[in-house]
Amino acid sequence: MKIPNQETLQAWDDQHVWHPFTPHSVFREEEPLMVVSGEGNYLIDIEGRRLLDGVSSIWCNTFGHRNARIDAAIKEQMERISHATMLGNSTVPATILGKRLADLAPGDLTRVFYSDNGSTACEIALKMAYQYMHQRPDPKPEKKKFLALSNAYNGDTLGAVSVGGIDLFHERFRTLLFDVLRGPSPYAYRCDSCQGLSACGGGCLSEMERLMRAHAHELVGVIIEPGMQGAGGIITYPEGFLKGVRALCDELDILLICDEVAVGIGRSGYMFASEREGVVPDFICVAKMLTGGYIPVAATLTSEKVFEAFLGRPELGRTFFHGHTFTGNPLGCAAALAVLDIFEEENVLERLREVTIPKFEERLKALAHPNIGSVRSYGLGAGIELVADASTRRSFASSERRGMKVCRRARDLGVFLRPLSDVIVLMPPLSITNDEIDLLFDAVEKSIQNEFQG
């Protein structure tokens, strides 16, 4: 493919391409990066500049760009077949991947349903949970609602948006959505009762218990991002929060859905974030890092107990009628298998827990600036919340776009970042080196200083 020059590409992009989560009225003011290639943990733009991919291309690029093992696995699979339907059929990579995911998953999560992204993985879990309540040996048709958290983000399909709780993203579509119960987000920094403390004082779990007990008769399940809320602003949970919710689900006959799209497949320092928390949910949803950021494949894992409720002759109508054209795509499954091979053969999780995450947290704790209000981390992921006044926790006006400006400054220092409003997000590839962690944090520190100097 012949690549046009930068001016031509920018013009075509401006004329024809509608970018996600992007205010186009200011798009050109912020000079979008025109990526041509990648190498290791770096993006390379059309001018040949190398930028450390500090957000793993939106949290999905597990082991860097053009990883030789993942490239080879996809090429090898292409020589066999690139796609075949899984509607009533199967493929070798999808079958092997299902077995390996079931072996790795915590507890009794032995069944794998494939889709193509995190939104659909969560949508599937919601629909499965709802149908299970109607078809289990002791049906509970009165259970029709879900409990989700404020500040939750579980995807962009309408079911996933229904359980989402970020007004900026979701409120406009409210009349299209099904009703859910809304629990509190354990956002200690923005919680009046916690008064900006670094950890929740326990009130959020108490409120979850109140809601779950009051509505147990009608609740199908609770959906939660374990460990932290990602798109809500890298909001980390207090110790024991997820375990407390799991215990209540067990007691009250409520299903637990863990959305691990952002934190699963190693980001937490464990293969599954639920595993780090010592929790076995009824459903785990994974996507993003599953295929190394190469090809869209997602998986919804659940138990044999749930699966058995869908068994029966066709005329009984117990089938789960849901699917995607590219479900279990062989190329994507081959990439995922290569990713799991790398984890296993290169002792990735041990290195993360013993070397990479401690180094990351050391640099994070050293951050200091009058306009940094809160610093939060979970595994190899962090959020740095910028504020106009740290003493009062007063935010900047959204029109100032301080987070985006800091990230734009970081680009001039060789690091690509993308914020969540005024939260600077750091979600590097798991393959990041200690020297690259220093590059990342040096750029963040300098960019914040330059943005607020004078």
Q: What is the pLDDT of residues 328-386, one digit of tens each?
A: 999 999 999 999 999 999 999 999 999 999 999 999 999 999 999 999 999 999 999 99
pLDDT at 191: 81
Question: Within 10 A of 179 (CB to CB), how many other CB atoms are there?
Answer: 10
Task: Please check the confidence at residue 192 and state whether its pLDDT lies above 70.
Answer: no
* Same domain assignment for residues 272 and 409: no
Say whether 221 sits in a helix, a strand or coil. strand
Question: How many residues does this entry show for the chain?
Answer: 454
Contacts of 54 (CB under 8 A, 6+ apart): 410, 415, 416, 417, 426, 427, 428, 440, 443
Domain contains 100:
yes
Domain contains 315:
yes
Question: Within 10 A of 104 (CB to CB), how many other CB atoms are there?
Answer: 16
d(CA 434, CA 358): 10
Domain contains 321:
yes
What phi and psi, each to the nearest 5 degrees, are found at residue 188?
Answer: -55, -40
Strand pairing class (283-286; 255-259): parallel
Task: Please check the confidence at residue 450 and state whether its pLDDT lies above 70.
Answer: yes
Q: Which H/E stretch holds residue 91?
A: none
**Strand-pair partners of 416:** 53
* Same domain assignment for residues 119 and 256: yes
* Same domain assignment for residues 409 and 360: yes
Q: Is the distance from CB of 19 to CB of 30 less than 8 angstroms?
A: no
Q: Which residue has the higher pLDDT, 33 or 306?
A: 306
Q: What is the pLDDT of residues 69-93, one digit of tens each?
A: 999 999 999 999 999 999 999 999 9
The tokens describing 386, both together, are 């910028």
Angle at 328 between CA 254 and CA 276, to 5 degrees: 45
d(CA 108, CA 303): 6
Task: Please check the confidence at residue 193 and state whether its pLDDT lies above 80.
Answer: no
* Same domain assignment for residues 32 and 129: no
Contacts of 112 (CB under 8 A, 6+ apart): 97, 98, 101, 102, 299, 300, 301
* Of 155, 142, 214, residue with least CA distance to 181: 214
How many structural domains does the chain have?
Answer: 2
d(CA 416, CA 58): 11
Q: Which domain holds residue 374?
A: 6-66+348-452
Instruction: Quote the distance between the C-alpha of residue 139 and its chain's center.
Output: 32
* Same domain assignment for residues 180 and 219: yes
* Same domain assignment for residues 151 and 165: yes
pLDDT at 190: 87
* Same domain assignment for residues 314 and 273: yes
Cβ-count burial 255-279 (b if 16+ within 10 Å, e if not): bbbbbbbbbbbbbbbbbbbbbbbeb
One-letter amino acid for residue 404 of the chain: M
Say whether 157 sits in a helix, a strand or coil. coil
Q: What is the pLDDT of residues 410-448, one digit of tens each?
A: 999 999 999 999 999 999 999 999 999 999 999 999 999
Looking at 345, 362, 385, which one is the last position of a domain? 345
d(CA 433, CA 413): 17
Domain contains 269:
yes
Q: At how many degrees (to 10) do helices 434-452 and 402-412 cross?
A: 130
Instruction: Enter the pTM of the model.
Output: 0.96
What phi and psi, each to the nearest 5 degrees, are found at residue 35?
Answer: -85, 135
Domain contains 1:
no
* Of 193, 261, 192, residue with least CA distance to 227: 261
**Strand-pair partners of 374:** 385
Domain contains 196:
yes
Looking at 327, 345, 363, which one is the last position of a domain? 345
* Same domain assignment for residues 13 and 61: yes
CATH number of the domain bearing residue 19: 3.90.1150.10
Q: What is the pLDDT of residues 319-331, one digit of tens each?
A: 999 999 999 999 9
* Same domain assignment for residues 58 and 128: no
* Same domain assignment for residues 79 and 43: no
* Same domain assignment for residues 193 and 44: no
Q: What is the pLDDT of residues 206-261, one digit of tens each?
A: 999 999 999 999 999 999 999 999 999 999 999 899 999 999 999 999 999 999 99
One-letter amino acid for residue 212 of the chain: M
Give the torsion through C-alpha atoms of 56, 229, 162, 266, to 10 deg.
50
CATH number of the domain bearing residue 328: 3.40.640.10
- Binding site annotation covers 288? yes
Looking at 307, 329, 345, which one is the last position of a domain? 345
- Binding site annotation covers 153? yes
- In sequence order, what DSSP letters do the residues of 307-361 get, joined into one string? HHTT-S-GGG--S-----TTTT-HHHHHHHHHHHHHHHHTTHHHHIIIIIHHHHH
- Binding site annotation covers 119? yes
- Binding site annotation covers 83? no
Sheet containing strand 42-45, edge to edge, reads 35-39, 42-45, 50-53, 415-416
Q: Find the farthest-apart pair of alpha carbons in the chain and give their distance in angstroms, rounded.
A: 73
* Of 106, 82, 104, 109, residue with least CA distance to 93: 82
One-letter amino acid for residue 210 of the chain: R
d(CA 407, CA 184): 30
- Binding site annotation covers 325? yes
Q: What is the pLDDT of residues 124-170, one digit of tens each?
A: 999 999 999 999 999 999 999 999 999 999 999 999 999 999 998 99
* Same domain assignment for residues 112 and 236: yes
- Binding site annotation covers 312? no
Give the torsion through C-alpha atoms of 107, 112, 113, 117, to 10 deg.
80
